[in-house]
Amino acid sequence: MKYYLIAGERSGDLHGGNLIKAIAQHDSEAQFRAWGGEQMQAAGATLVTHYAQMAFMGVWEVVKNLFTIQGFLKKCKADLLEYQPDVVILIDYAGFNMRIARFAKENGLKTFYYISPKVWAWNQDRAWNIKKYVDKLFVIFPFEQAFFKRYDYEVDYVGNPLFDAIADFVPDPNFLTQNNLDPQQPIVALLPGSRRQEVEQMLAIMVATKAQLSDYQFVIAGVSNLPDSLYAPFLSQNVQLVKDAAYDLLAVSQAAMVTSGTATLETALLGVPQVVCYKASWLSYQIGIRLIKVPFVSLVNLVAEKEVVKELIQSQLTPENLLQELVPLLSESPERVAQLAGYQEVKDTLGEKGASEKAGKLMVEYLRQ
C-alpha cells in the first residue's frame, strides 16, 4: 500500500520515522512519501519537503508567513492528488495538517492522525472537525481518550512514542571527549528549541544565568537545521554547542533549562531535573492566554496533572527567576528529589515502549479491513 505522511517539525519527524519502520514490518509492500526530515527519509520515505522550511511558532509568526504556508498547502494538495495514496497519515502539526485532513476527505482519501492536535488545551470545539475529517485517530496520552469520548468519538490510545525513541537510545561513551567537554566539571544543558523563533526568544535568557554559575559548563543542544549564526553570539570558553545530540547531552547533565514542548517530556523520561521556559511574541501570548484551557504549558505537568516542574512563562522568564529555580536542582535538595519522584509518576502514567509498533500494526489492520 501507499502511505503519505506529513510532519512539520523535528519531533514529528522522529516519531514518523519510527512509525514508518513499524508499518513496514506489517506491510512488506509499503511505499512511503513524506513531508518531514532525515528520520523519515532514513526509514525509507521519499522526502517531498523538509520540515525546517515549515517550522513557524506563534500566531504572529504564522500570520507573517501566511503566503509561504499557503504555497506549501497548494504544493501538498497537488502532490496528494498525483500520488493517490491509500492513506494520508498526519503527525501533530495541527494548523497545516487539519487543512490537509479536510482536503483529503473531500477528495476521497482516507485519513489517519497520529499524535492528536492538542484540542484539549485550547479551542476544544476543534474536536468536532477532527471527528468529521479524520477516519482514525491515534492518541498518545491516556487523558485524550476520555476527552474525545465527550464528542462521541472513539480513538485508539497507543502509548507515548517517546518511550520508543528513548528505549532505543544508547549513550555515546565518547560524547564528552568528542565535544571537548571537561568530565570533571558538571554540565547544565540548554535546550532552547528547534525553531528559529524559539532560539531567538529563549537562548539569551538561558545563557544570562551563566555568570552566577561559573563552576558549571553550559552546553547548548543545537540542531543542524538552524544556522550556526543563531548560536554563535552565545558561545564562549564555558558555553559550548553540540548539534543533534540532545539525548547524549542530557545523559551527562546535572540539570537543564528547557523550552516548553516535546523536549520537556524527553528530559523527564531521561531523568534530568529541569526548569521549563516559555516566551512568545507579545501578540501570540495575548491571544494564547485567552484561548488556552489547561493549567500548564509543559507536557510533564499536564500528564502528572500537577506541578512537577517549574514553568517560567513570558514575563516570569528572567535570568534571576531561572537561577532561583535552577540552583536547588543542581544538588541533592528536596526540590530535586521531589522532581525526580514526580518523573516516576509520569513514567508510570504513560506506560511502556511500543507506541510506534502498536500504531503501525493498527494502521495496517484498519487499511486491510
Q: What are the tens digits of pLDDT across the range 198-227?
A: 899 899 999 999 999 999 999 999 998 889
- ∠ CA 179-182-184, nearest 5°, is 150
User: CA-CA distance, 305 to 180, in Å (whole number)?
Assistant: 40
Three cell numbers at 158? Answer: 497507543
Mean pLDDT of 230-251: 93
User: 175-350, what's its fold?
Assistant: Rossmann fold (3.40.50)
More confident residue, 290 or 305: 305
Pair 100, 77: CB distance under 8 Å: yes
Long-range interactions of 312-320: CB distance < 8 A, separation 24+: 312/275, 312/276, 312/277, 312/278, 313/278, 313/279, 314/278, 314/279, 314/280, 314/285, 317/202, 317/205, 317/277, 317/278, 317/279, 318/205, 319/205, 319/208, 319/209
**Beta-sheet pairing, 255-259 with 274-278:** parallel
More confident site: 80 or 291 = 80
Going by pLDDT thresholds of 50, 70 and 90, the confidence category of residue 293 is: low
| Edge-first strand listing for the sheet containing 217-222 | 239-243, 217-222, 187-191, 255-259, 274-278, 310-313
- The answer regarding whether domain 2-161+354-368 maps to CATH 3.30.420.10 reads no
* Stated pTM of the model: 0.79
What pLDDT sits at residue 165?
A: 85
Can you give the C-alpha Rg of the chain in angstroms?
20
Distance of CA 243 to the CA centre of its chain: 17
Q: Where are the domains of the chain?
A: 2-161+354-368, 175-350
* Average pLDDT for 231-243: 91
Cα 182 from chain centroid?
Answer: 30
* Domain 2-161+354-368 matches domain 175-350 at the CATH topology level: yes
